A and B are shown apart, each in its own frame.
Chain A
């Protein structure tokens, strides 16, 4: 019973990591850059939804849609202002800029919304006053937030894979990802394609932010930072750039974290999580589902 309880806790936590990791891996897969500001876009999304539903009394779904719209816009602006001028620059410069953007967003959020914590009202709601499905006469319960998160994760994963593989825009994205120069020669607008990638990634971040705060309701300007890093780890674990890998990596990371806490030590849980990551990367350097790409010379 305790094992089941821990497993459910692990899946709950992991599903949150997974949904954040999807955005990370999507942007990395196409634009080949690590967008460290992703976690902070998540935070912005959560704040927008918080103000829409709590202050202006909008229905939860409208709040989520609004926050997706705002984050999409924010993603495009960030890309245009901070990353586009660095398109030809070394990867390291873009990485540092992303870290700068992350701090910028955190500080801007603090100025706008202050650093006092806010408690997020779950957008998932209750059925008959229950926040989850009770199993074994209430000895165990799976919260609706977890169920919704996993369903949303799978929907996003399937639609992303379909989008990237079946549509013309998706094809352009894959082309840009493989070779920017050649893609441009073939008449693909590289800038638009990358902007679109950021727009989609940021809309996903808004959904992730809302679900993150529905599950763990304390909202502060640094809310996105740590889950962002963990989700990045999850994306690497699953194979960065691989969309199904992000889902599997996220859920596994959550389960490992909870099991490490429950069966080994609450003090060492993070150390164990990262030790597992190192072992996986030693055995499979590209992550669980990562593709090995041989460099053509």
Chain B
């Protein structure tokens, strides 16, 4: 008996401590949640995202970007929003629970999920429950496929792959191309597959294809050596910036200097704390958002974000900011009010999103197809002297 008590005590203690760690985050989050103003007259917008865990950099960015936008649109005095983000820890099961919690709260419009794996699960529910979903950043095609009321603010993965191949071909950036991609990640392998198909169609030669996984995301010497031996003059990196920074570092250490070409996940590399930005000199990427852009909208957003959260926003924050503005534009145009049911709003939103044109931080003249994918032009950027410059 005594033994059991001790075990139980130990477990409870550890669990308590771990949960306490989680709660700390939730408190801060609840303080920030109530940015929506008068709850009675506001449309309830909910979303799930990784606010804790390894992918929390994306979830928190979305939450913060959306908060800033909600504050701004509410200050305009028209359609009012109330925002609530629930944690899904980048896990599909937790995302479903988080989605249900939001539904109980009375969610009328949904930001779906921040990342693709949870997004696939929650978009299914969006469709069944007839709650309109606009995801800021879940870029997988399965998120929108077959769901008439789920839309994306970011590019779908394959579009980035084919756009990159076209860009490399048009600008004649390289003749022999090597690709390193992350084969346990839907984002990375999705872009790679489309890139390869498009590259073959355009007659670009892919001379080296190697992979890595979350578990082997430290050492890239073999992959880089393979690319070097194959004589590749351009290295395509469809991945996030944390892995890319290691690749740049190790390529430099072994004296291999091809052209590097990244996708939107590469954004963030310059603000990586402690990163030697000279390693990223000359890296090219296609991205919808750059925090260094000189237009008023970007400058205003970046200044507010830095002021409030002490860091430079990435493209996830920008996508979330645009989501709120797009919803606001659609609600205003459709004459939506806070006392409408989710289903009524859903029909209005689907009608608006398939017909409207949206100008935001992440691109101008954006339109949506009926299957929920966005069309906007990615900007080609090159890193020079530690800053993005348009190509």
Which residues of A approach B to under 8 Å, CB–CB? 2, 5-6, 9, 12-13, 50, 54, 81-82, 85-86, 88-90, 93, 96-97, 100-101, 103-104, 107-108, 110-111, 114-121, 131-132, 138, 141, 143, 215-218, 220-222, 226-227, 230, 257-258, 261-262, 266-267, 269-270
Main secondary structure of the interface of B (DSSP, over half): helix
Taking CB atoms, residues of chain A closer than 8 Å to B216 are 257, 261, 269-270
A258 to B212, CA, bound (A): 12
Taking CB atoms, residues of chain B closer than 8 Å to A6 are 221-222, 225
A54 to B273, CA, bound (A): 10
Residue from A82, A97, A261 having most chain B Cβ neighbours under 10 A: A261
Which of A9, A100, A222, A266 meets B210, CB within 8 Å?
A266
Taking CB atoms, residues of chain A closer than 8 Å to B9 are 85
**Would A141 and B253 count as touching, CB distance under 8 A?**
yes
A266-B212 contact given A89-B10, A131-B253, CB 8 Å threshold: yes
**Would A216 and B219 count as touching, CB distance under 8 A?**
yes
**Would A82 and B246 count as touching, CB distance under 8 A?**
no
**Would B222 and A261 count as touching, CB distance under 8 A?**
yes
- From 8 to 25 in chain B, residues with beta carbon under 8 angstroms from any chain A beta carbon are 9-11, 13-15, 17-18, 21-22, 24-25
**Would B222 and A54 count as touching, CB distance under 8 A?**
no
Taking CB atoms, residues of chain A closer than 8 Å to B214 are 226
Q: Decide yes or no whether B249 CB sits under 8 A from chain A.
A: yes
Query: What is the size, in residues, of chain B's interface with A at 8 Å between Cβ atoms?
Result: 54
B268 to chain A, nearest CB (A): 8
A115 to B268, CA, bound (A): 13
**Would A100 and B218 count as touching, CB distance under 8 A?**
no
A2 to B225, CA, bound (A): 8
A257 to B218, CA, bound (A): 12
B330 to chain A, nearest CB (A): 32
A216 to B11, CA, bound (A): 34
Residue of A nearest to B217 (CB): A226
Main secondary structure of the interface of A (DSSP, over half): helix
A50 to B275, CA, bound (A): 12
Q: Decide yes or no whether B93 CB sits under 8 A from chain A.
A: no
Would you give the 0/1 interface string for B207-230, flagging 1 where the beta carbon is closer than 8 Å to chain A? 000111111111101110110010
Q: Decide yes or no whether B6 CB sits under 8 A from chain A.
A: yes
A5 to B255, CA, bound (A): 13
**Would B273 and A82 count as touching, CB distance under 8 A?**
no
Residue of B nearest to A90 (CB): B7
A82 to B12, CA, bound (A): 10
**Would B57 and A104 count as touching, CB distance under 8 A?**
no
> Other CB < 8 Å A-B pairs besides A110-B25, A116-B272, 11 of them?
A5-B221, A9-B221, A82-B10, A100-B14, A107-B22, A110-B56, A116-B57, A132-B253, A216-B219, A218-B243, A270-B213
Residue from A54, A88, A89, A257 having most chain B Cβ neighbours under 10 A: A89
A115-B218 contact given A85-B13, A267-B183, CB 8 Å threshold: no
A141 to B253, CA, bound (A): 9
**Would A86 and B6 count as touching, CB distance under 8 A?**
yes
**Would B274 and A107 count as touching, CB distance under 8 A?**
no
Taking CB atoms, residues of chain B closer than 8 Å to A89 are 3, 6-7, 10
A117-B272 contact given A89-B3, A111-B24, A267-B211, CB 8 Å threshold: yes
Residue of B nearest to A8 (CB): B221
Would you give the 0/1 interface string for B188-212, flagging 1 where the beta carbon is closer than 8 Å to chain A? 0000000000000000000000111
**Would A103 and B18 count as touching, CB distance under 8 A?**
yes
A93 to chain B, nearest CB (A): 4
Q: Decide yes or no whether B52 CB sits under 8 A from chain A.
A: yes
Contacts A/B (CB < 8 Å), 12 sampled: A5-B221, A13-B219, A54-B274, A81-B13, A89-B3, A93-B7, A101-B14, A115-B54, A117-B245, A220-B242, A266-B212, A266-B223
Q: Decide yes or no whether B254 CB sits under 8 A from chain A.
A: yes
A5-B225 contact given A103-B18, A110-B52, A120-B274, CB 8 Å threshold: yes
B153 to chain A, nearest CB (A): 22
Q: Decide yes or no whether B311 CB sits under 8 A from chain A.
A: yes
Q: How many A-B residue pairs have CB under 8 A?
A: 145
**Would B10 and A220 count as touching, CB distance under 8 A?**
no
Residue of B nearest to A13 (CB): B219
Q: Decide yes or no whether B38 CB sits under 8 A from chain A.
A: no
**Would A104 and B21 count as touching, CB distance under 8 A?**
yes
A165 to chain B, nearest CB (A): 33
Which of A50, A104, A132, A226 meets B215, CB within 8 Å?
A226
Taking CB atoms, residues of chain B closer than 8 Å to A217 are 245-246, 249, 274
The 4 closest A-B pairs by CB, nearest first: A119-B274, A100-B14, A107-B21, A9-B221
A119-B245 contact given A85-B13, A220-B54, CB 8 Å threshold: yes
Residue of B nearest to A254 (CB): B219
Taking CB atoms, residues of chain A closer than 8 Å to B225 are 2, 5-6, 9, 262
- From 231 to 281 in chain B, residues with beta carbon under 8 angstroms from any chain A beta carbon are 241-243, 245-246, 249, 253-255, 272-276
**Would A141 and B10 count as touching, CB distance under 8 A?**
no
A121 to B276, CA, bound (A): 9
Residue of A nearest to B24 (CB): A111
Taking CB atoms, residues of chain A closer than 8 Å to B11 are 93, 96-97, 100
- From 33 to 80 in chain B, residues with beta carbon under 8 angstroms from any chain A beta carbon are 52-57, 60
- From 311 to 350 in chain B, residues with beta carbon under 8 angstroms from any chain A beta carbon are 311
Residue of B nearest to A130 (CB): B253
Residue of B nearest to A267 (CB): B211
A266-B253 contact given A89-B10, A115-B56, CB 8 Å threshold: no
Residue of A nearest to B221 (CB): A9
Taking CB atoms, residues of chain B closer than 8 Å to A90 are 7
Taking CB atoms, residues of chain A closer than 8 Å to B274 are 50, 54, 118-121, 217
Taking CB atoms, residues of chain A closer than 8 Å to B7 are 86, 89-90, 93
Residue of B nearest to A222 (CB): B54
Which of A96, A97, A104, A143 meets B253, CB within 8 Å?
A143
**Would B6 and A262 count as touching, CB distance under 8 A?**
no
Which of A50, A82, A108, A138 meets B13, CB within 8 Å?
A82
